[in-house]
Structure 1
């Protein structure tokens, strides 16, 4: 008496999956619905828009299937005989959140394919991979019931939540395996070039996984450290351009530019590869911090509408803090490189006017309509709870370390106190007080719920890190963000609040043609044509009109100069000890 789903590749060229749902002993009026969002990505995505040709039957006879809202259907059943529902699903979204299908590759999350049998969500659910193109494999972390060597066959989940928390990768892909503290891990890579160095990726991923398991549970040798999963699967799709990831309970779906993969015969660590390793570290850390430790509001997901929380600064921001930090601690990057990455975040937050408009707690709540629906005004209206949340974590960590504790201890204390379950902000405050020996209510009020600047300069100095202001680019001095290409020229993408570009009337979408009578094709070229404190004539194109604007170049960046961070070569003993405890030796 198990609810079952069968997924077939109906037409790869038309990007169509065929999904068949079988419901034993259905209700007389059986409601079926498709989620409107996927946990971990806070936007209503309306997956039902990709469904078509829904049909229902019992015993070979048609069953009336009425649509009652955008994502819900009502099957009027006759008796308790098995209900069969079929649907086509259009799949052509290359992101990690939806579904994709073409002649080379397939991918899906259950939230986009599997109708929820309302009232039966707690029952076991099975998924069978049916017709697949010749030579294709399948990879997933869902428990296999009966599958062949290529991974094709039947899988089972304990309930609907688990069913939709195991994405599937389909196609001809590279796969490799390793163990981290005795736990099996699998890495799947689609779209890689022939010179991809899989062994290096496995070795580096293993170091990340071992460091994180030890972070949360301690490294017990020779006995394996515990982990909240029996096996883990990385599903990495590589393409010409792209970056992203989505966490799941025992796997993650990753997207990266294929040029970021390591290459055989090349030992250097490129910035792109560091970006990929940071993504791997980020999503793996989520296995603990958001998939198990999670906002109290997410104790039970409601798939029909937005699920609000003010805690994304903790679950996304603190994860963003630890992703690169763990790369440093396990030796995949050195201290100068880590500080360079940290300085980029510090500078980016300082150059975002929205930090004075919304706190990270407010930004978390508004993620559904602001962060995930970004536009030309987003930097002026909100702040990234990823970026500023990571800096809140940094500030708390360095403060705790001066108090004789650390954020590491707080994270482990939260895990132990909650049993790896839902938590509220009061639990975070309690763990901070328990570990730090005092209340951190003032810091939480100012840094999380307030909009004041974080005291990072002094805290970093206490950890033996020098803070050096750097010269601002022309765009930073003007409060302007642009895109540049030979095809479209210089286009203003964002005009920042309070900057000189806004004061002069520059608007997002303007094409910058000339400055002081000279044609410019890169904004930096205009630096030589402008004098600080004086106005310059800009020629811009807007809606087929050519406008003349008077732009005055300020002497400094209105939103704060970019920052460079460097390890003090001769720190005091206390600062050196704090830095080594924080970053590792």
Structure 2
């Protein structure tokens, strides 16, 4: 089958797509558009961006029937070529969307490419009808300047592209693989130093898994003029959006770009190949419920940062500051009391990518990373590591693309630890259970001479009264054990504060009413900010942990 893509009026942000199919006599053809995309487990319903689907031959238009919100069907009248013509609206410039304007065409085929019934394994050619000056960044096989090939539908939907006359292209090599860095937007950093950093964490990650089965790998960067941060993994590439571009002249901001890049490269193994059974193969027409979020995103978040420490990019204190941020995010929420990380993973389709209602769930990224930290150091006490576990997962499931279940991961962890009782207890309490993770983190880090301390800069309202405010003084979080939880409502705006001997008197605005509320002072601390410090000599365990 052949795709032809046009930008007839780039400023309209509609692109024109023609899909040509060779059909047999009286064949029934079903066209299924994706409802979601790899890397984000929520329904996007991309059919809402489709305009005017038409089926035709060289002689006539063929009747088309819509079966569901994102599925169409037609019947061929005789053998021959049939063309599916439609338009797609490209107005979402993030790491998982599509964008069209006079300067660029950016496509994620998981948004717009039909899965054709019984044709999913057919080779697909792609012709982009673009100005001659346009370069194209993609992992798809190049046939000519603007013509590409995918081996099948799964490869197409996992191969985004950026086409632009302004792309900047750099490469580095590790082993037999060429790593491509494509930048759309302004570069405000030293590219040579960046490549050195990328090479260092790439070498470290490849060493962990022992191989990298790809001739080429592509980092596709959108450097944007506005604030943005997003990354999405793919089989042989990643798309990363970051902004504002000029902020990357700052080392702290550049570290964020490097961190998400390390995270997305780790996904080359973990998720893109070591893939939960629910995602193998991708069926983008309906939800794929998975319980393995702690592995897919928790392990990746933890080890993505750890390899930057082990590669020498982060100093120990820089890494500890990043880890402290994760701990503070964990302690600011009480969702862990109500839902395990396994159940939060399963419920990603409900509210996994938005705040949701208060204290209902946990983050598979943040809590998952902290669980992974504790698991790694627990394994090290048993002459193993999380790196050993993931290497085994790669050998057992990733190399041959065999899907795994959470129980398979637990089994590998237990085999590496050679301590079934301890590992069963850990998974029961922190993976399948809802136990407070903070005491375990504190105990675990002490084993490598790292200590959790109360930060010097506490917010009095958060610490003493369990009230967290945004910059407009609107209440965004209340500690469930504080007296304030029984007097205030999320969304109240504090207009005045009067400190008394045993209470604080607050003037608040609730919707269109104003009230006076008195909150008693207690001896308890509620929302506490923590920091991590390294004390004492580096012990053998810590040396092994960061090597």
TM normalised by structure 2 equals 0.94
1:231 aligned residue: 216
Task: Give the Å deviation of 1:95.
Answer: 1.5
Partners of 1:79 and 1:275 lie apart in 2 by 56
Where structure 1 has 5 or more consecutive residues not aligned to the other structure, the ranges are: 148-152, 218-225, 264-268, 517-529
2:238 aligned residue: 252
Does 1:317 pair with 2:280? no
Correspondent of 2:427 among 439, 444, 461: 444
1:513 aligned residue: 495
Partners of 2:479 and 2:168 lie apart in 1 by 44
Task: Give the Å deviation of 1:15.
Answer: 0.9
Q: Residues 512 and 215 of structure 1: is their aligned pair in 2 closer, same or farther, counting only changes over 3 Å?
A: same
1:187 aligned residue: 181
Task: Give the Å deviation of 1:482.
Answer: 3.1
1:543 aligned residue: 511
Correspondent of 1:386 among 342, 357, 365: 365
Partners of 1:543 and 1:185 lie apart in 2 by 54
Q: Residues 499 and 233 of structure 1: is their aligned pair in 2 closer, same or farther, counting only changes over 3 Å?
A: farther
Q: Residues 475 and 297 of structure 1: is their aligned pair in 2 closer, same or farther, counting only changes over 3 Å?
A: farther
SS in 2 for 1:372: coil
Per-residue CA distance 1:281-336 (angstroms, 9 max, x = gap)? 10110010001001112122221111001101111000000111111000111001
Where structure 2 has 5 or more consecutive residues not aligned to the other structure, the ranges are: none
SS in 2 for 1:358: coil
1:459 aligned residue: 444
Partners of 1:201 and 1:501 lie apart in 2 by 48
SS in 2 for 1:381: coil
Task: Give the Å deviation of 1:232.
Answer: 0.5
Partners of 1:542 and 1:333 lie apart in 2 by 45
1:424 aligned residue: 405
2:258 aligned residue: 277
Does 1:211 pair with 2:196? no
Correspondent of 2:529 among 557, 562, 580: 562
Partners of 2:12 and 2:519 lie apart in 1 by 51
Q: Residues 71 and 476 of structure 1: is their aligned pair in 2 closer, same or farther, counting only changes over 3 Å?
A: same
Task: Give the Å deviation of 1:144.
Answer: 1.2
1:221 aligned residue: none
Task: Give the Å deviation of 1:178.
Answer: 1.0
Task: Give the Å deviation of 1:506.
Answer: 2.9
Partners of 1:166 and 1:358 lie apart in 2 by 35
1:482 aligned residue: 469
Partners of 1:500 and 1:367 lie apart in 2 by 32
Give runs of aligned pairs for residues 135-150 of structure 1, distance below 5 A: 135-147=133-145
SS in 1 for 2:518: strand
Q: Which moved more, 1:414-423 or 1:320-329?
A: 414-423
Q: Which moved more, 1:446-455 or 1:173-182?
A: 173-182
1:348 aligned residue: 329
Correspondent of 2:394 among 403, 410, 415: 415
SS in 1 for 2:73: strand
1:521 aligned residue: none
CA contact (8 A) 2:275 2:398 kept: no
SS in 2 for 1:423: coil
1:524 aligned residue: none
Query: Number of residue pairs matched?
Result: 536
Q: Residues 424 and 550 of structure 1: is their aligned pair in 2 closer, same or farther, counting only changes over 3 Å?
A: same
CA contact (8 A) 1:192 1:258 kept: no
Partners of 1:498 and 1:11 lie apart in 2 by 58
Per-residue CA distance 1:461-494 (angstroms, 9 max, x = gap)? 111212212253235324344331xxxx322334
Partners of 1:514 and 1:185 lie apart in 2 by 56
Partners of 2:173 and 2:519 lie apart in 1 by 59
Q: Moved runs in structure 1, 4+ residues, more than 6 A?
A: none
Correspondent of 1:402 among 361, 366, 381: 381
Partners of 2:263 and 2:417 lie apart in 1 by 26
SS in 1 for 2:186: coil
CA contact (8 A) 2:176 2:215 kept: no
Q: Which moved more, 1:537-546 or 1:64-73?
A: 537-546
Q: Residues 69 and 242 of structure 1: is their aligned pair in 2 closer, same or farther, counting only changes over 3 Å?
A: same
Partners of 1:136 and 1:196 lie apart in 2 by 24
Give runs of aligned pairs for residues 492-531 of structure 1, distance below 5 A: 492-508=475-491, 510-516=492-498, 530=499
Task: Give the Å deviation of 1:568.
Answer: 1.7
CA-based RMSD: 1.9
Q: Which moved more, 1:24-33 or 1:243-252?
A: 24-33
Per-residue CA distance 1:242-263 (angstroms, 9 max, x = gap)? 1110000000010112347654
Partners of 1:82 and 1:495 lie apart in 2 by 63
CA contact (8 A) 2:33 2:114 kept: yes
Give runs of aligned pairs for residues 336-375 of structure 1, distance below 5 A: 336-375=317-356
